[in-house]
Structures are given as structure tokens and as C-alpha cells.
């Protein structure tokens, strides 16, 4: 979990001490020599940092949103958004999926030149939208609501599948 509050934008949140410990445990599950890529947001790249040097790519940033309530049921807003409800001031879902997909394509190509596995640290809504567009999640809202902090999923683009990495912490 990041350290957060209403006085700092979410894209500037850093991991808390507990978040750093959970990230260190998570990175021990990743394949050695992976190509590590994170969004520009500190909480994402800091999640992979214990495993090595992290390339930062803004295409993996969380969705841009204006008007999300700080207090109240922000989770309902987010779940409805990934399920297909438009919110004024929120980045269009198709644009999120396209930028995320372009990042995946570019970094998969870079990883293939060294024979490494691509590991991306991103954010729940952006990743859910990309997975929905790319492999057709049956229930994007349910997938998003089931994400943990931290969490890791294995995505097989050829088979069109996604599954949680065994041993991922069940917190959050």
C-alpha cells in the first residue's frame, strides 16, 4: 500500500514501509533476469525496485481522472468505470487500453532480444482495461475488485488467459 492522503495527487504516492516489505516479498517470486518496467508513478516502480533496475514508462500509468471523490465510495466509481460507465473528466477506456497495449508491445520486443520475461508494474484500472480489450475479461469489474496490494498475474497473450501468480500476498 502507498502512503496517501488528500493533499497529494495519487500519481505522486510512494509506497509505505509495509508496502515496501510486501513488494520485496513479491519480487522474490519473479523470474531472475526479467525486464522490469513500471509506470512513472512511484508506487508502481518502487514495487519492482527490490528486483533490480526498473525502466519507467508513462504508458503504464493509471488512468487520468478529474472529479473522483476523495471521500465516499470511490471504489464504486472505479468499478463502474472499468465495467463500462463513463465519468466526465476520466480518460477514455479505449485510449487507456491503446497506450497500455503499445507499451506492452514495445517492451515485449525489447525483452525478446535478451530472452527475458517482461514484468510490468502498473495500476488496477489501467491494467484491467487493457486485459479486457486484449483478452476479453468476462467481468472487468469483478477482476478489478479482486486485485490485491501487491498482486501479480501471469498473462499468456497467445492463449488469452490471465491467472494470479502463486504465492502472492493476500492483503488489501
Sequence spans of domains, the chain? 25-164
The sign of the torsion formed by the CA atoms of 131, 80, 99, 56 equals: negative
Q: What is the pLDDT of residue 3?
A: 62
Q: Indicate whether 124 pLDDT > 70.
A: yes
Rounded to whole angstroms, how far apart are CA atoms 39 and 56?
5
List the one residue out of 63, 62, 60 whose CA is nearest residue 86.
63
Main-chain dihedrals φ then ψ at residue 152, nearest 5 degrees: -145, 135
Q: Does 25-164 carry CATH code 3.40.50.1240? A: yes
Distance of CA 118 to the CA centre of its chain: 13
**Lookup: cell for 37:** 518496467
Average pLDDT over residues 38-57: 95
Q: Indicate whether 172 pLDDT > 60.
A: no
- Taking the whole predicted model, whether its pTM rises above 0.85 is answered as yes
Residue spans of beta strands (DSSP E) within 33-117: 35-38, 55-56
Q: Indicate whether 171 pLDDT > 70.
A: no
Q: Indicate whether 8 pLDDT > 90.
A: no
Give the pLDDT confidence of 64-123 residue by residue, as tens digits. Answer: 998 887 777 889 999 999 999 999 999 999 999 999 999 999 999 999 999 999 999 999
Average pLDDT over residues 121-147: 97
Average pLDDT over residues 161-166: 92
Q: Is the peptide bond before 150 cis (omega within 30 degrees of 0)?
A: yes
Residues of the chain with pLDDT > 70, as a percent, come to 94
Amino acid at each position: 500500500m502507498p502512503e496517501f492522503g488528500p493533499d497529494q495527487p495519487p500519481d505522486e504516492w510512494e509506497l509505505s514501509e509495509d508496502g515496501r516489505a510486501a513488494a520485496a516479498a513479491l519480487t522474490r517470486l519473479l523470474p531472475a533476469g526479467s525486464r522490469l518496467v513500471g509506470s512513472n508513478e512511484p508506487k508502481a516502480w518502487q514495487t519492482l525496485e527490490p528486483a533490480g533496475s526498473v525502466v519507467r514508462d508513462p504508458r503504464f500509468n493509471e488512468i487520468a481522472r478529474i472529479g473522483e471523490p476523495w471521500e465516499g465510495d470511490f471504489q464504486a466509481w472505479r468499478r463502474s468505470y472499468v465495467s463500462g460507465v463513463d465519468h466526465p473528466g476520466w480518460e477514455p477506456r479505449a485510449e487507456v487500453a491503446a497506450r497500455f497495449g503499445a507499451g506492452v508491445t514495445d517492451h515485449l520486443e525489447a525483452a525478446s532480444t535478451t530472452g527475458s520475461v517482461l514484468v510490468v508494474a502498473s495500476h488496477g484500472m489501467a491494467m484491467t482495461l487493457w486485459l479486457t480489450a486484449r483478452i476479453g475479461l468476462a467481468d472487468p469489474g469483478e477482476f478489478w475488485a479482486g486485485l490485491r496490494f501487491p498482486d501479480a498475474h501471469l498473462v499468456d497473450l497467445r492463449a488469452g488467459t490471465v491467472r494470479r501468480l502463486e504465492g502472492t500476498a493476500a492483503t488489501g
